[in-house]
Amino acid sequence: QDSVKYTGMVEDCCCDYETVDSVNGEVLHPLLQQLVTTPFFRYFKAKLWCDCPFWPDDGMCRLRDCSVCECPENEFPEPFKKPFHIVPSDDLMCQEGKPEATVDRTLDKRAFRGWIETDNPWTNDDETDNGEMTYVNLLLNPERYTGYTGPSARRIWDAVYTENCPKYSSGEICQEKKVLYKLISGLHSSISIHIAADYLLDESTNLWGKNPELMYDRVLRYQDRVRNLYFTFLFVLRAVTKATDYLEQAEYDTGNHEDDLKTVSLMKQLLYNPKLQAACPLPFDEAKLWQGQSGPELKQQIQEQFRNISALMDCVGCEKCRLWGKLQVLGLGTALKILFSVEGQNHAAQSLQLQRNEVIALVNLLNRLSESVKIVHEMGPSIEKIMEKK
């Protein structure tokens, strides 16, 4: 019974579940896992200090202190080492007080060289380099359980869904609105899967491991959440393949010749993968969207909604979650930009321009989604069987 759950075409996409699982398992996942460890892809810059535009009065900015007070000495940002720094009192609710929520900023500065600075119409962040940007090594900050739950986390997801991409009814025919909802839901599934796949099982012994019950409760028991994960994966994969010309010629220089050659080689293996091209040449067909009379208006409306979602990431009250939230929303915004902001060959003037950070976000997002798809494929059926018996 499990195997019939996810058969046939992934909804609104051009590949079936079995093909996605086999191409992902055999080629995409191994390649992406290597790519994200290269110096080019492992450093990401983000503005992590909070300036939530939606809820200014709830003490969010205390969180900056919270994260610092829990860090080991060598991670203290310089300004906080000054003697007049006020240590927050114990009675403040410190959302990100847990060490696993804080960001390790250890970084090889040589690895980061500037690319162009260009605005992404789908996201809220101003990507211009400035003193507020933090550069982080993603490998030292895996996306996993951080202890961030409760009303703060709930409020973000509620705002994302109710105000910016409401769940469509079964009669909804507007394809574009469905796409936005499914992208966010698919990303949410992926975040939940990573939380459950790397969970703090026992705080006293610092034992980390899989939490199958959580994975079932949050994702596996809802077929639409799993389906939306596959959809989001194919959508982002299509964006990467559509940007092949750009990504092939991009500058992956980080100052380490050997590592950089490896990055270029892995990128080519991803972009010109014969197995992927044979099995799933067009993971998603973006040409079908924005065709109706109200296309341009609709695009503007959905772009505005996505920018709001991007702005909401500044309100995420746990630094590591904010880091991954920002990265993945920028990755989705980059996919949307590639698929919908550039019209293709007949509009040569509007050629694709991506920032370095956008490319890093896009590939890291694809890797996160690829991991989630693999976890669901490999562990899903056995977890479901156990949970359904309970």
Please report the sign of the dihedral spanned by the C-alpha atoms of residue 359, residue 226, residue 157, residue 95.
Answer: negative
CB 138, CB 112: distance < 8 Å: no
As measured in angstroms, the least distance from the Cβ of 354 to ligand FAD is 23
Nearest to 355 by CA among 276, 251, 263, 269: 251
H helix or E strand, kind and range, residue 358: helix 356-389
Cα separation of the two ends of the chain: 17
Site string for ligand FAD, 269-288 (x = CB under 6 A): --------------------
As measured in angstroms, the least distance from the Cβ of 166 to ligand FAD is 11
As measured in angstroms, the least distance from the Cβ of 189 to ligand FAD is 4
The site for ligand FAD, by CB under 6 A, has a size of 23
CB 226, CB 376: distance < 8 Å: yes
Q: Is 191 helix (H, G, I), strand (E, B) or coil?
A: helix
Q: Is 136 helix (H, G, I), strand (E, B) or coil?
A: strand
Give the one residue of 180, 195, 239, 335 binding ligand FAD; rule: CB under 6 A.
195
Residues 304-343 that bind ligand FAD (CB under 6 A): 313, 316, 320-321, 324-325
Give the one residue of 225, 242, 307, 368 binding ligand FAD; rule: CB under 6 A.
225
Structure tokens given for 336: 């949307």
Give the one residue of 24, 124, 189, 372 binding ligand FAD; rule: CB under 6 A.
189
As measured in angstroms, the least distance from the Cβ of 12 to ligand FAD is 16
CB 226, CB 219: distance < 8 Å: yes
Residues 120-179 that bind ligand FAD (CB under 6 A): 143, 145-146, 148-149, 153-154, 156-157
Rg (CA), the chain: 21
Binding piece for ligand FAD, criterion CB under 6 A, among 116-124, 183-191, 263-271, 281-289: 183-191
Length of the chain, in residues: 390
Binding flag, residue 223, ligand FAD (CB under 6 A):
no
Chain residues binding ligand FAD by CB under 6 A are 143, 145-146, 148-149, 153-154, 156-157, 185, 188-189, 191-192, 195, 218, 225, 313, 316, 320-321, 324-325
